[in-house]
Amino acid sequence: MQSVGPYRFTHMLGTCPVGKAWAAIDEQGRFVTVAVLDAAAANTPGWREAFTGTANAMSQRPGGEAFAYADFFADEPWAAYPAESGPGAEKLFRALGQEYHPVPTAQAGATKQDDSPEPVSGVPRQPSGPPQSVSGPPHPVSAPPQPVSGVPQPTSGAPIAPWALHSGALPSVPPAPPPAPAPPPGDDAPPSPAPVSGAPMD
């Protein structure tokens, strides 16, 4: 029977285009599900990293699916999940965006006389490219901004001091008073002096 790390496969649970899910048992008799990324997919740029990143992201989520043991550097990277926590291997492939196909229950425990796993009908198709990353830079979700029509209009009022931008609300600046009207033409009289308040000087 095939094995990886400390796990011996007992039967295949399902397949997807980039790998297989296996039921396995460790040396202490504990059951696990193992997700194995096919070598062809592992050698396609982006897939090994996506497999590793997705397994790590799933294990770090609150209530997420933590793997018991993994080897992401193997020719066929794999991650083992405790069987009591559910179908961890299946969840990993689905999180990678793969169409997972469970092996029919009647075949799940069946093995050939030579104790090798049942072959899977069909050949997994070659991945067309790396999956979307679980984490990393954001991807644009809308079109770039479109220019606004019209010509910019000047604004009035005093410019706002740079420090004011960081202090919260912007101060309101009252508009400047209109200029005083010019004296009518031909009026040559000097303006009258302004009254002086206070006591006269000697």
The pLDDT tens digits of the residues spanning 1-30 come to 688 999 999 999 999 999 999 999 999 999
How far, in whole angstroms, is CA 173 from its chain's centroid? 44
For residue 12, what are the β-bridge partners? 22
DSSP for 143-189, please give it: PPPPPPPSPPPP--SPPPPGGGGGSSSPPP-PPPPPPPPPPPTT--P
Say what the pLDDT of residue 42 is.
Answer: 95
Give the C-alpha separation, 70 to 110, whole Å: 26
- DSSP letters spanning 110-149: -B-TTSPBPPPSS-PPPPSSPPPPSSSSPPP-SPPPPPPP
| pLDDT exceeds cutoff 50 at 115 | no
Torsions phi, psi for 11 (to 5 deg):
-165, 160
Structural domains in the chain plus CATH codes: 3-104 (3.30.200.20)
Indicate the range of 133-147, 150-164, 169-183 predicted with least confidence: 133-147
In angstroms, the first-to-last Cα distance of the chain is 124
Counting residues of the chain whose pLDDT is more than 90, the rounded percentage is 46
d(CA 9, CA 33): 9
Q: How confident is the model at residue 51 (pLDDT cuts 50, 70, 90)?
A: very high
